[in-house]
Structures are given as structure tokens and as C-alpha cells.
Amino acid sequence: MLDLGCGAGLPAMRMIVDSGHAAVGVDVSREQINRARKNVPEADLILASAPDLDLPPASFDAVVSFYTIDHIPREDHLPLLRSMYGWIREGGWLLLAVEAGDEPGVVSEWLGQPMFFSHFDAALTRKLIGDAGFEIVRTQQETQTEGSRPVPYQWLLARKPVPDSHP
């Protein structure tokens, strides 16, 4: 399983490994990769920006990405989703959490640091996932409180279809 934007490896990548799966974590931050190396030493880790990542086709049963796509310019969302589609085997899974509002691109403070945010509304995000080739299995919106501000996130479970082998 690929954890795209793995951060320090907690909790997602740790849970992946503890569930008996092989894990590959990718993060753009060297510090987060160093932390992940300590927290989940069983995982393979890659220091890379998600849009620049080049992985072998059909090399994962699943890709998870929590709160990562929000930090990538939204014009790169569809190409990245298409890359994820390519990395996943037929019948494999995609699980995403992405902010559910329309934001063309802004730098805001997050945890005391400047952070880039860019995302589409929930309906367009679902469309992009379909345009990338996935079939959405389930979607749900949850609101999280960040500081004193409620932030809606869309959780999406999608699957790479298995081609129909019947004539």
C-alpha cells in the first residue's frame, strides 16, 4: 500500500504495517520522512513531491492520501489522480481525504507555518476522480475543527475497475 503524503507515518502507515501489509510512504518533507523512518521502520520511504513521483504501473493494491492533495496546485489534481490510477492494480483501492471547498490557491498559516492550500468543491473533486478512471464506492463529508474554524473534508473511497473479461 502507498501512503501518499505519509508525514511522520502516524497513524495511517503504522496501521497499514500493523495490519500485515507492506507499506511505502512518500512525503515532500525530509523531516517528516526522518520521523516516519523512526515511527515505521518496516516501511519503504521516498522523499518526493507527489506530482513529480514516478512509480511502476500497477505496483500497489491501494493508495491512501489524507490531507495531501489540498497542498498541491489544483491544476495538478487530475494529473496526480491519473498517476494514482496507474500505480494501482486492477480492482485496487483509493482512499482520499481532501478539503471540500473551492480554493484556487492561497498561502495561510497552519501550525505556525505558512502553508499552501488549493482544492475544488466536493462535486468537482468527485468528478475528477471519475475522470481519472476510478469508480467511487463511497463518499462522506466530515467537519473537523482546526483552531476555532470548522473545516469540511470529503472522504472518498474509490476503486480501479476490473475490465470485463466476458465477450
Residues 74 and 120 in one domain: yes
| Residue ranges in 91-147 assigned as alpha helix (H) | 122-131
CA-based nearest residue to 74, from 109, 124, 137: 124
For 121-135, what is each residue's pLDDT tens digit? Answer: 999 999 999 999 999
Residues 44 and 112 in one domain: no
Q: What is the pLDDT of residue 147?
A: 81
For 37-60, what is each residue's pLDDT tens digit? Answer: 999 999 999 999 999 999 999 999
pTM for the full model? Answer: 0.93
Q: Residue 84 above 90 pLDDT? A: yes
- Taking the C-alpha atoms of residue 50 and residue 4, their distance in angstroms, rounded to an integer, is 7
Q: If you average pLDDT over every residue of the chain, what do you get?
A: 95
Residues 70 and 115 in one domain: yes
Task: Specify the number of domains making up the chain.
Answer: 2
- Is there a cis peptide before residue 163, judged by omega within 30 degrees of 0? no
Residues 130 and 74 in one domain: yes
Give residue 134's domain range: 58-162
